[in-house]
Structures are given as structure tokens and as C-alpha cells.
Amino acid sequence: MSFLQATIHFFAHVQLLYVLSGLVVGGLVGMTGVGGGSLMTPLLILAFGIHPVTAVGTDLLYASATKTGGTLIHGFNKTIDWKVVGRLATGSVPFTALTIFALSKLDLGNAATQGLITKALGVALLLTAISLIFRKTLMRYYAGHVGELNATLVRNLTVAMGALLGVLVSISSVGAGAIGVTALILLYPNMPTARIVGSDIAHAVPLTLIAGLGHWWLGSINFIMLGSLLVGSIPGIIAGSTLAARVPDPAVRYTLAAVLILVCARFWFFK
């Protein structure tokens, strides 16, 4: 099959609703830096009826592709601290591999496994919502009661946070954005925000790629759906990034947090 034939075949199978979903979620990610896994995975499960494991796996590769573009931009602008990225990856890479291995020992079609994924997703969404709502409160409390940590402890806690993100993201595809950024703000209070966001995005690329490839190995990727989501997300991220300076940050964060709490309740309390 020639490249032209492959391209025609792909676009013939692109699904409009997935493209629109990618456009909306991509726009939110562009505006806030948060919302990829937090919104896309629940949307795929609740609105489209996609199996939780397939939704998580597909969203992970979707996130790795979209955040690669963000990493290139942040790298060009020199807003990535590669030492921090390395520390996070030291924890996340092995724990991502271990989590994927653990998932491979489960029956992914089993109702109990599906319940485990949705419950983990609910917890991750709740943590993400809390980090969005109470980020400034947490920072004030931390500054007043903890203060600046010594360099060795900061390094160890960064590695531990990477490990936690590796487990959370591999199971639910959620956490690399809001939770990761909040943790870095607390651990590196003197680091400029742009550098924190850039470092978090750069770390999300190997994290989501390894987890996504692991889910590919497990057979839980829908590539037609993945392509359709990316067709919408690319212009969505561009548009969202353009609007970011015009939309009040608190309004976007609180609205997104409210949506995540509602989705979390749906996963935990309703069948």
C-alpha cells in the first residue's frame, strides 16, 4: 500500500465525534496544561462506552504524541529543567514497567479488573481536582509549616513522586498534569512556573509513551480512535494556547475541577 493509499484509508476511517472530542480536550490542555487524561479517558468510557483498559491505553499514546509537541516548544524556549525530569523518570520508568507487568497478570476483560481501573481512575480524578482547587492553599501551608527542604530530601521526594505518577498514570492515564505540577511547585518553590510546567510536560512524554507501549503490548490500543483524537487535538491545542492569555486562570481551573469531581462521583457511586 502506497503512502497516498494509506493516507486515504486512514481519513476514510476517521470518526468525527472522536475528532471533536480531541478538539475540545486539546483546547483545554492548551489553556490550562491539564485535562488530557483527566477528561479524555472518562469521556471515552462514559460517553463512548469504550472499555476502561482500552480507553486508558489509547489515551496514553494520545498524551505522549501531544506532549511531545509541547516539549519541543518548551525545549526551544529553555523552560525545562532536565535534572528534575531525570529524577522524576528515575522513579516513574521502573514503576511504570512494574505496573504494566502487574496488569498483564490480570484478566483485562474481567469485571473485577474493569472495576479496579475505574476506581483507580476515580481516585486519580479526585486528587487532580483537589490539586487544582487547593493549589495556592497548599503552597501557603507548605511555605509556612515546612519551608525549604534540603537538597538530598528534595531529590529523593522527586524520585518518589515519579514512582507514584508511574503507577497512577499506567493504571488510569491521569495524574501527570495537575498532580505532577502541584508536587513540583511544592518541592521547587523557587523555580519559575514556566520551567515547572515545561519540566512536567517533558517528563510526561517518556512516562506516557512507556505506559502506552505497555498497553499496546497488552493489546489495549484502538489506533483508529487514536488517530481521530489526534486529528482534533492538534488544532485544539493551538487554539487553546492562543486563548490562554485571555481566559482567567481561576475560572478555568475551578470549572475543570468541578467537572472532574462529577466524573469521579459517577465512577464511584453509579453503575
Q: Is residue 214 part of a domain?
A: yes
Asked if residue 2 has pLDDT above 70, the reply is no
Whether residue 1 lies inside any domain: the answer is: no
Q: Examine residue 125 and state whether it is found in any structural domain, yes or no.
A: yes
Q: What would the grid cell of residue 105 be?
A: 497478570
pLDDT band at 5 (very low <50, low <70, confident <90, very high): low
CA proximity to 55, closest of 72, 42, 70? 42
- CB-based burial of residue 174 (10 Å sphere; 0-12 exposed, 13-18 middle, 19+ buried)? buried
In a domain, 6, yes or no: no
Q: Is 4 among the domain residues?
A: no
Alpha carbons 34 and 7: distance in angstroms, whole number: 31
- In angstroms, the Cα distances linking 249 to 28, 96, 120 are 11, 32, 28
The contacts of residue 114 (CB under 8 Å, 6+ apart) are 51, 52, 53
Q: How far is CA 82 from CA 5, 209, 237, 269, in A?
A: 41, 18, 24, 41
Residue 153 falls inside a structural domain? yes
- d(CA 184, CA 178) in angstroms, rounded, equals 10
Domain that includes residue 79, residue range:
20-269
For residues 195 and 162, what is the distance between their CA atoms, to the nearest angstrom?
17
Q: What pLDDT score does 238 carry?
A: 74
Tell me 181's DSSP state: H
Q: For the chain, how many structural domains are there in total? A: 1
If one counts every other C-beta atom within 10 angstroms of the C-beta of residue 199, the result is 27
In a domain, 3, yes or no: no
In a domain, 9, yes or no: no
Average pLDDT over residues 168-177: 83
Evaluate if pTM is beyond 0.85. no
- pLDDT, tens digit, 9 for 90 and up, residues 205-252: 999 999 999 999 988 899 989 988 998 888 887 777 666 557 676 776
Distance CA 234, CA 226 (A): 12
Instruction: Kindly report which listed range (43-47, 157-161, 195-199, 253-257) carries the lowest average pLDDT score.
Output: 253-257
pLDDT tens, position by position, 60-104 = 998 888 888 778 878 888 889 999 999 999 999 999 999 999 988
